[in-house]
Structure 1
Amino acid sequence: MEHDQFSMWEATPNKNNLEPIDNSQHSHNCDSSAHTSLSRSSNWYAASFIYGLLLGGLVAGVAFAVILTLYIMN
């Protein structure tokens, strides 16, 4: 589970074109495992936060559509 999150984080800079060369050099040349675990955990929190925002927006949009539909039908 945690490895999937980390590999997803590895692929993110290449997808967004945010200096992929510098990011890959930094992650591969840094030899401290504490930094790796820190970036893994913090990125897991960032990913869950983003997914939470998307899910919250989706739920709010559906609730708004239902309320608007009920308001129009009444």
Structure 2
Amino acid sequence: MVFASDILNGRSYATKRAEDGFFAALVRKVHLRREYNKTRNELASLSDRSLADLGISRGEITAISRKAVYGYQS
């Protein structure tokens, strides 16, 4: 729905939808980054013994966290 104020300000419905898309993408990225940080911090807080029980070395924490949240490993 286009409002009169949007028409007077030169903002169309398509422009508003594009902005919604941008902000929605930004919110998704922030959410993913928080999940990544939470996962990495939780794994980093484990003892070496606990990590060994899981079959994870301390050097793999970043890659495992990235794969768990973003779906890829670099």
Q: TM-score, normalised by structure 2?
A: 0.50
Distance in 2, Cα, partners of 1:73 & 1:52 = 30
Q: Does 1:60 pair with 2:32?
A: no
Amino acid of the residue matched to residue 29 of structure 2?
Answer: G
Structure with the larger helix share: 1
List alignment gaps of at least 5 residues for structure 1. Answer: 1-23
Question: Root-mean-square deviation (CA), in Å?
Answer: 2.9
Identity percentage of aligned residues? 6
Unaligned stretches of 5+ in structure 2?
52-74
Larger radius of gyration: 2
2-structure distance, mates of 1:50, 1:28: 25
Which residue of the partner structure matches residue 16 of structure 1? none
Partner residue in 2 for 1:50: 27
Between Structure 1 and Structure 2, how many residues are aligned? 49
List structure 1 runs of 4+ shifted beyond 6 angstroms.
Answer: none
